[in-house]
A and B are shown apart, each in its own frame.
Chain A
Amino acid sequence: AQKVTQAQTEISVVEKEDVTLDCVYETRDTTYYLFWYKQPPSGELVFLIRRNSFDEQNEISGRYSWNFQKSTSSFNFTITASQVVDSAVYFCALSEAPRVASGTYKYIFGTGTRLKVLA
């Protein structure tokens, strides 16, 4: 069965510190996708990144970077030089390929990590 674990319930950092949010996943599929979403206090989930299981290259987007390691089933997210606006709940999600050709991908979300960036 597929599972996503975000062991860090809440993290507090001071502005300009770097912070890493952990995500560990379980799946028996060889084809799957991993995602990160941000949920600010306003409540609307915002897509950050998608990664497929065949692409282990790390990705950097501004202050955000992602480290995908299949050997440890992890897809960690690092924010460099954190800012107050980064305060939000961050969710990691996994989707596996459909079991039948007509099926669609089923998403499983982790429980989220609340990040508080203090000024």
Chain B
Amino acid sequence: EAGVAQSPRYKIIEKRQSVAFWCNPISGHATLYWYQQILGQGPKLLIQFQNNGVVDDSQLPKDRFSAERLKGVDSTLKIQPAKLEDSAVYLCASSWRRGAVSYEQYFGPGTRLTVT
């Protein structure tokens, strides 16, 4: 079974530029998450999708970050314009959704973003 795919793996941009990350979850996983992980910290949830609808984006800096999940499969996360403090690893994860059970998440390899 293929895991969660992410691209690119690394990205270096200058501040005020824009960047986009792509994620393809495990087939059949209805729930998709984007996390930001700053060096030395735990993952911080940015946005959570259930199929193609947003169920939690309370920690997404909406003035510069946006995300979409068309057709309930692939997802893209965009930053525009980037700031120095956006330097981090952006992790995508997916999980099953079935009834009132919380299932484990499966993570992709992440995209390491450096903003200079």
Contact = CB atoms under 8 A, between A and B. Distances in A.
A107 B97 CA distance: 14
Nearest to B55: A104
Contacts of A66: none
A45 B104 contact: no
Interface stretch (A12-20, A67-75, A79-87, A108-116): A108-116
Given A45-B91, A111-B41, A104 B48 contact: yes
A104 B42 contact: no
B110 A104 contact: no
Nearest to A35: B104
Contacts of B100: 31, 97-98
Interface of B: 31, 33, 41-45, 48, 50, 55-56, 89, 91, 93, 97, 100-110, 112
Which secondary structure dominates chain B's binding surface?
strand
B42 A43 contact: no
Contacts of B89: 43
Contacts of B45: 106-107
Interface of A: 31-33, 35, 37, 42-47, 50, 52, 91, 95, 97-98, 102-107, 109-112
A110 B33 contact: no
Contacts of A103: 55
8 A-B pairs with least C-beta separation: A109-B42, A105-B102, A45-B107, A33-B102, A95-B102, A47-B104, A111-B42, A50-B104
Contact of B109 (A44, A50, A107, A111): A44
